[in-house]
């Protein structure tokens, strides 16, 4: 029987986890964004780097946490993630790339994620608000 890890009561985890490449025999590695909700403070975010056992859930352990209290830091992270994704997509061209091609690649990537991002934002705001109300009671 697996033991559940204790979780702080002020965490909200509405976004889906991001699984990394399956490069380990015994573990899956995932990244999760978690909101830290406090009724008296602005919401902050932590990025959880987690290792989940494929064999026994009780062997699963977080690898680390990265905390963000400034929105600009998260926007920098998003900027770099979109940049990396576009570079990976554009590597298929294997030739000189014009500025217009780079701009089209970025526009295309942003169009792909826009709808999901809008839905996720609304969903996160609703869950955070309900968590705040729950904590105040």
In whole angstroms, what is the distance from residue 111 CA to residue 82 CA? 11
Return the structure tokens found at 132: 């705040």
Domain-embedded: residue 32: yes
Among 36-45, 87-96, 113-122, the range of highest mean pLDDT: 113-122
Residue 5 within a domain: no
Render pLDDT for 42-83 as a digit per residue (tens, 0 to 9).
999 999 999 999 999 999 999 999 999 999 999 999 999 999
Residue bearing tokens 């959880």: 48
Mean of per-residue pLDDT scores for the chain:
89
Does residue 125 form part of some domain?
yes
Q: Say if CB 29 and CB 63 are below 8 A apart.
A: yes
72 inside domain: yes
Rounded Cα distance, 85 and 88, in Å: 5
60: in domain? yes
3-state secondary structure of 52: strand
Q: Which residue range is the domain that position 24 belongs to? A: 11-136
2: in domain: no
What does the pLDDT read at residue 1? 45
Assess if residue 104 is contained within a domain.
Answer: yes
Tell me how far CA of residue 99 lies from CA of 89, 102, 106, 126, in angstroms.
Answer: 15, 5, 11, 40
Is 77 part of a structural domain of the chain? Answer: yes
Counted domains in the chain:
1
Predicted confidence (pLDDT) at residue 6 exceeds the cutoff of 60: no
pLDDT recorded at residue 9: 67
């Amino acid at each position: 029987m697996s033991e559940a890890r204790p979780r702080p009561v002020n965490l909200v985890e509405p976004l889906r986890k991001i699984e990394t490449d399956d490069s380990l025999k015994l573990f899956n590695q995932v990244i999760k964004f978690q909101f830290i909700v406090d009724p008296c403070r602005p919401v902050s975010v932590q990025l959880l780097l987690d290792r989940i056992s494929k064999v026994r859930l009780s062997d699963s352990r977080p690898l680390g946490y990265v905390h963000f209290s400034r929105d600009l830091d998260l926007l920098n992270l998003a900027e770099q993630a979109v940049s990396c994704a576009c570079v990976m997509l554009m590597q298929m061209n294997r030739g000189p790339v014009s500025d217009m091609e780079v701009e089209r690649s970025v526009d295309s990537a942003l169009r792909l994620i826009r709808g999901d991002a809008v839905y996720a934002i609304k969903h996160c705001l609703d869950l955070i608000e309900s968590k705040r109300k729950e904590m105040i009671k």
